[in-house]
Each structure stands twice: as C-alpha cells, then as structure tokens.
Structure 1
Amino acid sequence: MASSGIDVPGSATADYVMHERDKEYDSGYKKEVHEEAQIPYDSDSLSQHAVRSDQTHRQLRPRHIQLIGIGGTIGTALYVQIGKGLLNGGPGSLFLAFTIWCTFILAVTNCMNEMVTYLPISSPFIRFAGRYVDEAFGVAAGYNFFVFEAALVPFEIVACNVIIQYWSDAVPVGGIIAIIIVLYAIINLFAVQWYGESEFWLALGKVLLIVGLIIFTFITMLGGNPIHDRFGFRYWKNPGAFAALYREGNLGRFLGFLQCLIQASFTIAGPDYVSMAAGEAENPRKVMPKAFNGVFYRLTAFFVLGSLAVGILVPHNDQTLKDAFLNGLPGAAASPYVVAMDRLKIVILPDIVNAMVLASAFSAGNSYVYCASRSLFGLALEGKAPKILTKCTKSGVPIYCVGVTLAIALLSFLQVSNNAAKVLSWFVSLVTASQLINFAVMAFTFIKWKNACDAQGFDRNLLPHKSFWQPFSAWYAFTGCTIMAFVGGYTVFIDDFWNVPDFLFSYLMIGVFPVIFVSWKLIKKTKWLKPHEVQLRTAEVEEIEEYTRNYVARPPKTRWHGYLDKIFSA
C-alpha cells in the first residue's frame, strides 16, 4: 500500500516513527536522550549487552572493521596476478577496466550500507536474501557465498606455499600447508577480538605495501633508480597502451580490455567482507556507514593506482613477465613490481616485497576462514544448515562452522601431487563467477527491500543510513554483475580454445545456484515474497535498537590502541 502521508497504527512506519520521535540527531547519527537507560560499562568489554540471541559478541572495534574489509580484499591478485591483466590488455585497458569496475563495487556498497546499518546481524546479506526475496533465494545465496569463501582458503594456502618457494623449496610442501592451517585454527577458534586484532595488523601490512609500491613507482618513473632512467609513461607509447588478445585490430584490443575487466571483477571486492563483520561490530549503526565508505574509497585508490602503477613500470610485451607466468615461477617472481626492480637493477627490495606478499596471502586466507565460517553460521541460524553449527564457544566463536571451513582447507594438499599453478587455476576458475553472483544477489535483494519499503510506507529517510541514487544504483550493480558472470568464461567459445574443464570451472556455480534455488523451493514450498509481505520490523531490529540505546563506548586498553582507533576509524 502506498504511503498517504498518514501513519497507520500498527504499521511498520508508524512503529518506527514512534520509536524515532524520542531521538535527536547528533552528527548525522541518532543518539538517545535518556541517559538513565544506559547499562554501565563493564570491564569484560560490553559482554553484558554485547551478547545477542545468536551467541556471537560485539567486540570488533571500528579500526578492526575497516582493516578486515581491506584485508579480505587485498590478496596476491593485486601484487602478482595483476600482471596477467597487463599482458592480456596493456596498461590502458588495465587502468580503464579497474576504474570502471570500481563503479560497480560502489553501487553494491551503496546497497549494502543501507540494509546492514539498519539491521547489522551475522551473515546479513545471506539472511536478507531469504527475508526480503524468497527463502530459497537466501539458501542458494548462502551456499554460493560459503563455497566461494571456503574455496578461497586453500587458494591462499597454496599461494603462501608458492611464495615461500621463492626463497627455497627445501621445506616439504605438506609441512608448510599443515603449519598454515594450524595457524588459521589458532587465530579463528579463539575470541573474535583475537581475529580482529591479528587481521588489523596483517591488513595494515598490506596497506603499507601497496602504498609503498605506488610511491616506488612515482620515484622510479622520474629517474630515482640505480640506472637513472627517467622512463615516465614510456611504455604507454611503446609498445602502446592497448594490447590485442586472440585477434588482431580493434576486436583483439576489445578482447584484451574484456579480459582485464574479468580480472578486475575477480580482484576487487569489499562490501561482502565489511557486511560479514556487522554482527560482531561494536555500535554498528554508527560504525558501519563509516566502515563501508572508508573501505570503498581506500580500496578504490589502491586498486586504481595499483593498476596504473604496473602499467607504468613494465611494458605489456615484457618477455620476463610472460615467462614468469608461463613457467609458473614462485612467489613475487611473477609480480610486475619485482620484474620492474630487476629491470632497474634494484636489489634487496624484491625479497622485502615477497615477504610482504606472503603476509598478504596469509591475511587474505585468514579473512576467508572468518567469512566462510560466518556465512555457514548464518545458514544454520536460519535453519538452512544443521543445527549443531549454531553452537558457539563462550567467546562467541561458531566453533563447528570454523571446523568445517578448516576441513575444506585440506584441499590445499592437492598441491602435493599436482602443479601449484594448476591447482591455483582450479580455485580461481571456481570462485570467479561465485563472487559476481554474490554481488548480483546483494543488489537484487536491495531492489526487493526498497520495493517493500515503498509498498508499506516505510520512510527510508528515518533509517540510520540512506543510500543514494536508488534504485538506479542497485539496477546498475545487478545488471553489470549478472552480465560479467556469464562473460567470465568467454574464451572457451573462441576457436581452438574450447575444453571441458575450463567450461565447467567457469560456469559450474552459475548452474549450481538455480539448482539449489529450485530444489529448496520445491521441497520446502517457499514463497516469492510480495512487497507487502516482507517483514521490515522484527525482534532483531528491536534488539539492535535496545543495544544502541544502552551502548557505552569501551575505552581502549592502552593509549597506543586509542591512537590507532582515532587514525583508522575515520
């Protein structure tokens, strides 16, 4: 029913408006006036009012959320695999593709920011899909995201092993894999703040590395290198900004650009990782909008400038870079940054870069363990996975979900009997389409959410955060991500490139998603929700509003932590 401007008693809008009328705005966020309702601070870090019905604890500080979002997105792809994009499309195509894809990520971030800030629960976008669209849709989205994240764990473990081999292959492959899995278990099976603190420092290392490499590019291109070569944008002119791929002429250059766009769609993310931390964030209605925006703008700067940097440092026809990927050279040897350092006769730095890339890969895998376990936890909370998976430790860690994720990580032992490059390609092909499906699900869920708000007269202006350019932004994200999911494996349809394994790995999840959706819908007889049937106010909304009213800021443990909170929470 369309809004007539009059609040109907018992309606979602009336309840929400009455609840909000006793509030006043403070710097754009709603803050309760009634101080007597606050729960006093307890030294056990808000444990009295941070524990919710899903047993997890709100102990992640703003700086943790910021760096978790950044750390989960920045992996070896930004430092090493980005070189493939340069070879395929050239510096111009790479830069344009990464810039364009960031606009789609902005649109997805815009959608998730509004919904998650209103209801910051565990595994939010998975559960929103079931609540605002169709229960079967949420199940399909949940398992798609779980498979995506869980498959990335062994991907990063194998990557860590390959990176270590840059220095020496004396350590047995199986031994390194076992050590990494044990470290992930230690970090993720203890209290969530352990994960948040460890990921903060690991992600900070990633930030310092990419910032350092961008500065390195600027200095060396102006002649600040051992051979005093002031090369500037030389490689954009010779051999050129746009490389032809598979075909000659404009068609080849377009295919090169398309390959760079596919590379960008696999490399750039962000809103999914920020969302997954919402259920364990302190004061989420204030923290999450800043986290979404901060992570997006920082990542955009890193990815866009990073794509520009590699195109400045190395020509797209560099034989050393080609051989590195062709022969599967270990670690940073295939990084365009290391190739550039070798060209410029720079020593020591390649080893430092390799060490930082190792930390980057380890951190990314750590984030994937967290996100995969929380997505499975969300499915269990909704009754879509075995109930035993809802069990949490006293510290609020979904222990069995973490265990299942670590069990899947054992797939990394495939490297013991197979070529590392081959194993990596299996995982990359499997998850690329899954990530695009995730983003399409987020955008479509927002479309249904907005339709429900409009139909029920639910005033979105009263929300803690309202997204902009809607519903255009959501449709833009949904259309772009859906198209790219089907385009991702286009090379198998080109003459002489067809092969069954590549086709299956590229399109497997696109086929699995509707199968899960239809199967669950037929078995459970679920209903495609109409706008007026969507429940916009639930007990969980009341719960988060009570938490917000009673929230008392937790002081930092040390002065040093206080400085970090101020620096990384903006």
Structure 2
Amino acid sequence: MAGEFERTKTGQYVHDVEQPEQPEQSAASSSDVPDLRGIVTQHEHRSLIRGLGQRHIQMIAIAGAVGTGLFLGLGGSIATGGPLGALLGYMFVGLIVCSIQFALGEVAALLPVTGSFVRHAEILVDPALSFAIGWNVVYGCFLSVPSEISASVVLIQYWTDINAAAWVTILIVVSAVVAFSFIRVYGEIEFVFAILKILLVVFVVILGLVIDLGGVPGVPRRGFHYWKDPGPFVEYISTGSWGRFLGFWAVMTNAVYSFAGVESLAMAAAETQNPRHNIPKACKRVFARVSIFYLAAVLVVGMVVSSADERLGSDSGTAATSPFVIAAGDAGIKAIPSVVNAVCLTSAWSASNQSMLAGTRTLYGLAIKGHAPKIFLCTTAWGIPYFCVLAQVLFSLLAYMCVSNDAMNVFWWFVDLTAAGTLVSWIAIALNHLRLLKALDKQGIPASELPWHNRITRFTSWFALISCIIILLTGGFAVFTTGNWDPASFVSSYLDIPLVLAAYGGYKLIRRTNTIPLESIPIQEALDEANNDPDNVPIKKDSIWAKMNIFWG
C-alpha cells in the first residue's frame, strides 16, 4: 500500500513511494545510481562530506536567527507593544523556540538526514506532508536569497550612491563562490560572521546600559523612566486593556520572524560530524544563546528609547532605524551608526548564505525521495549538490529588481508572502516529534532508547504546536479590524496556508499516499542504524569553562 514501509532483504525499511525506478546499470556505472536504502541513505553517505563540526552548526543557527531583525527590527516591536509588551512577547516566543529546538533535536538525533524536518515528515507522518513542507521551504529560501541581497544593497547605499547593479553583481558572485565551495568553507565563514554579531550584541547591550545608567557625560540617568512615561504597554488599534493586549500580540507575531532560522542547524545533518550527538547539543546551546541575546536587547532598548519616538517607525532600511543607533545618537556618540550598519550588512549577507544552504539541502533531500527531479542529486567531488546551488543562484538574479525602486517595493511585498513559512516549518517540527512519541508508545519502545530524549518534551511539543497554529491563524489580525482592511497585508499573511494545503492535497490525490501507520514507522530500524553508526561516539564532557561560556564554546 502506498505510504507504508516494507523490509528489504538487507533488513532495512524502504518507503515504497519514494523509490524512483532504477534502470539496469553496468558494474562500472552502478555507483551512479542512488541507493535509497536505510534511514540515512547510502547516497547521502557516499555523495556528501561531513565537513561541519559542532561549532559550525551552532553558529549557522545563530547567524540565521541574529540578524537585521535584532539590530533594526526591535524598534518596531517597542513602538507597537511598549517595553514590557515587547519583552513579554519575545519571552513567550522564546519558550516556543525552546520547545521547537528540543523537538528537532530529538528527531534529528534519531534521523540525521539531509533536509531535516522535511525528510522526517516523510518517515513519521505522510510523504504528501514532506512534499508540501519541502517545497514551501525551498520556495521561501529561494526568494530569501535575492531579498537579502537587495537588503544588503540598501545598507551599502548608506555610505555610497554607486549604482545598485554593481553591488548586486558582486554579492551574487561572492555568494555563488561560497555556495560552490567545500561545506567547511561555508561553516567557517558563518562562524566568523556569527562571532561578529555576538560581539556587536554584547557591545550594544553594554552600551545601552552605560547610557541608561548615566555613564555618558552630559546624559542623565534614565533607569526605567520610559516604562513609566509613556508606559510599559502601548495601545494598538483599540484602547484600554484590549488595546494593550493587541500590542503584545502584534509583537509576539513579529518575534517569530526575528527568531526564524534557528531550525536551520539540522538542515545539513548528513554533512555534520557525529550528528546524533552534535545536533542535540547545538539545539540546547543555540536556544539559550539566542534567547539571552534577544531578551537582553529588548530589555535594554525599552530602557533607552521611548516607545513614542517617531524615528522607530522609519522605513529607510538602514542603521538610522536601529534603536541602538537612536540611543547612541541622542547620547552624542557619532561612530555607532556606521558600526551597526556594517554588521547589519554582514548579517544580511550571512542570512542569504544561510537561506542558500537550507534551500539547496532541502531540494537535495526532496530529490532523494523522488519529490524533485533526479538531476538535483548530482554532487561535486567535494560533496556539493551543484545543480541545487545553480538553481538558487539563478533565482538570486531577481535581486536586480532593486535597481528600480518601484520594482523593489513589489518584490518585497512578494517576499512577504512567504513570511508564514517559518510558522509552517515549526508546526511540522512539532508534529514530527509528537508522531515519533506516539509511535514509540504504539510499538512498546521506551523513549529512553532514543539517542537523545527529555521527558518534558511530551508536553512542550504540544504547547509549541498549538501556539504556532494560533499565531499563524491570527498573524494578520489587524486587517480584520475596523478601518484597517488591506488586501496586500491579508494576502501576505495568509497566502502561504492555502499554498501548503494545495500542495499537500494535490500530492495525496495524484500519488494516493496514506498517513504512515504508527506501527509501520521504522523506529527500531533507525535505532539499529544509530547503534551501528561508527560516527555515533559520545562527546567528551565539557570543562567548567566551556559550560560557563554562553557565547561560542
């Protein structure tokens, strides 16, 4: 029956839908035929190179999550919800991210495959869901690359008015060189960029505290003055308690997109050294670090900038909109704008690289399971799926639209259509984990046998799943209020939902797939594969210094 697993002669489970027909080959060319047996396929073992260490995947996730959303976007959150409303919103979303990270870590430790949660859905839920989620991720990542390049050009124009086309060309060429390079090159670049971001976060948080406490000559001590006037909350759309709640809710929705990217650390699991130990460890550390950075930044921004400051609503897209720059400028510190703009530039380009990694590896994973053309399985001698990279580089040419301001505005609106994709991905991660736990119960296998497991995740995954669904359905609530209807905002908030549902339903209709029965999910096969994996070696215990190091250890 379509959608079920069957055992091969080798004792491994294979999905009967996902096996493309393999023509007879001679002995000399048989190595060119993908071997799709096993959880982590032999094709992945043979074609990809494990060049990413634990420090790389931790920094890839941090580099994806700490970007322009932190340095430029916090001002909008303060203006919408007030200092306390913004802090509570980010704290709530931080709990969701924690739940998602733990769910992803448990499943990825058992199933360390390229494409991460997209491939997990194929094994744990339904091939149709894998197809829908996978193409949604590819769609979003392919559009994110030109959008981030466009954002980089806007940031560059803070210093110079040289024709935008020249900068677009340079950024595309450099991005392509990195994407076609050995995976470790990409990992080292993201490692450096992530450290720059971390250092800037630490610097601006300390700077904000110095300004707030009166450490700058001529600047009075503020303390929590702005929490009292204009107040801890901002009334949004409505008035009174309801208006303050709506302000909080709008901030929480924005926070989801600020945290977006933390789920990318498992996308290249098959290219990660010792993934069954390194990915769970990275999940724990990345959540703690990103949460500390964001919460500290939100708290400090709410202390040094008034939520009523009109400059927070500026749409210039450069460092001028950063609340840190506003606070530094008011304190008479002149060099901060260029420093923040420079790191924002590396952040935007880094986010472009991260989207390219996630998009190409997801497309490669779809091709492995027969959900994308086989041509995307081709890899270089150093393990790079070059047709996947080439496809994404071609999409990057859309960045030339930023040469025309009108075209850029249209393009940014188009990119907004994929914003809900982050929540869709988080929903898939939580659903995959819950299905894994139910299958363990159904098959009588204790969860303690998993390579990594926490008892609390039985509850936190439900919390994350329900919360993400509610936020997804209410993300565009403002358009339903009196006088605020906007067709563009409605479409950008909700179009992704019918797109995913159409892809899911269309695949099921055409391929006649069924939801994988709990008793047919190959958990024991995955456990045996994990136990027999020569790379599955426990990581040496951290030293006291490493445990205290919350930044890059």
TMscore range, shorter length: 0.7 to 0.9
In structure 2, do the counterparts of structure 1 residues 398 and 258 end up closer, same or farther at CA, with 3 Å as the change threshold? Answer: same
Percent of aligned pairs with the same residue? 34
Residue of structure 1 in register with 2:183 after alignment? 192
In 1, the alpha carbon distance for the partners of 2:447 and 2:532 equals 16
Q: Work out the CA distance in 2 between the residues paired with 1:551 and 1:80.
A: 40
> One-letter code of the match for 1:93?
G
Distance in 2 of aligned mates of 1:432 and 1:458:
38
Partner of 1:205: 196
Deviation at 1:409, TM superposition (A): 2.0
What is the DSSP-based 3-state SS (H/G/I as helix, E as strand, rest coil) of the residue aligned with 1:297?
helix
TM-score after normalising by structure 1:
0.85
| In 2, Cα distance between equivalents of 1:196 and 1:95 | 32
1:87 match: 79
User: 8 Å contact 1:126–1:138 — kept in the other structure?
Assistant: yes
Q: Kindly indicate whether residue 97 of structure 2 is the aligned counterpart of residue 105 of structure 1.
A: yes
Is the Cα–Cα contact under 8 Å of residues 62 and 568 in structure 1 kept in the other structure? Answer: no
Q: Which residue of 1 aligns with 2:69?
A: 77
CA shift, 1:433, in A, is 0.9
**How far is 1:518 from its partner?**
0.5
Matched, 1:507 2:499: no
Corresponding residue of 2:291: 300
Matches within 5 A, 1:486-505: 486-505=473-492
What's the counterpart of residue 363 of structure 2? 376
Alignment check: 8 A CA contact 1:430 1:509 kept: yes
For residues 228-287 of structure 1, give each alpha carbon's deviation from its aligned partner in whole angstroms, at most 9, with x where no partner exists: 321111111111111111222222211111110111111113541111132211112221
Report matched runs for 1:52-71 at 5 Å. 52-53=44-45, 55-71=47-63
Q: Is the 8 A contact 1:133 1:528 kept in 2?
A: yes
Are 2:71 and 2:340, in contact at CA under 8 Å, matched by a contact in 1? no
CA RMSD of aligned residues (A): 2.4
Alpha-carbon deviation of 1:401? 0.8
Measured after TM superposition, the shift of residue 569 of structure 1 is 6.6
Amino acid of the residue matched to residue 64 of structure 1? H
Q: Does 1:239 align with 2:226?
A: no
CA 1:550–1:447: 2 relative to 1, 3 Å: closer
In structure 2, distance between residues paired with 1:415 and 1:284? 39
Q: In structure 2, do the counterparts of structure 1 residues 212 and 236 end up closer, same or farther at CA, with 3 Å as the change threshold?
A: same
CA distance in structure 2 between the aligned counterparts of 1:162 and 1:569, rounded to whole angstroms: 30
Aligned to 1:115: 107
What amino acid is aligned across from residue 174 of structure 2 in structure 1?
L
Q: 2:199 is paired with a residue of what secondary structure? A: helix
Q: CA deviation digits over 1:125-152, x for unaligned, max 9?
A: 1011011101101111111111222222
1:131 is aligned to 123
Inter-CA distance 313–387: structure 2 relative to 1 (3 Å threshold): same
Contact 2:274/2:537, CA 8 A, preserved across alignment: no
Does residue 147 in structure 1 map to residue 134 in structure 2? Answer: no
The CA distance in 1 between the partners of 2:532 and 2:552, in whole Å, is: 22
User: 2: CA distance between counterparts of 1:201 and 1:208?
Assistant: 11
For 2:307, which of 304, 307, 316 is the aligned residue?
316
Counterpart of 2:372 in structure 1 is 385
SS state of the match for residue 373, structure 1?
Answer: helix
Counterpart CA distance in 2 for 1:357 and 1:65 is 21
TM-score by length of 2: 0.87
- Displacement after TM superposition at 1:413 (Å): 2.1
Q: Does 1:335 align with 2:322?
A: yes
Counterpart residue type for residue 534 of structure 1: I
Q: Which amino acid is 1:481 matched to? A: C
> Unmatched 5+ residue regions in structure 2?
1-6, 13-41, 541-545
3-state DSSP of counterpart to 2:457: coil
User: 1:320 and 1:261, CA in 2 relative to 1: closer, same or farther beyond 3 A?
Assistant: same
Contact 1:142/1:376 (8 A) holds in 2 = yes
What displacement does 1:119 show? 1.9
Give CA deviations for 1:2-28 in whole Å, capped at 9, x if unaligned: xxxxxxxx9xxx99xxxxxxxxxxxxx
Evaluate the alpha carbon distance shift between residue 550 and residue 253 of structure 1 in structure 2; reply closer, same or farther with a 3 A threshold: closer
SS in 2 for 1:317: coil
Distance 2:419 2:126 in 1: 24
Please say if residues 119 and 544 of structure 1, whose CA atoms lie closer than 8 Å, have aligned partners that are also in contact. Answer: no
- Do the aligned residues in 2 keep the contact of 1:227 with 1:345 (CA within 8 Å)? no
1:422-441 → structure 2 map (5 Å cutoff)? 422=409, 425-426=412-413, 429-441=416-428
State the match for 1:177 in structure 2: 168
Q: Cα–Cα, structure 1 residues 55 and 295, in superposed 2: closer, same or farther, change >3 Å?
A: same
Closer, same or farther in 2 for the Cα pair 1:246/1:164, shift >3 Å? same
Deviation at 1:420, TM superposition (A): 8.3
Helix, strand or coil for the counterpart of 1:120?
coil
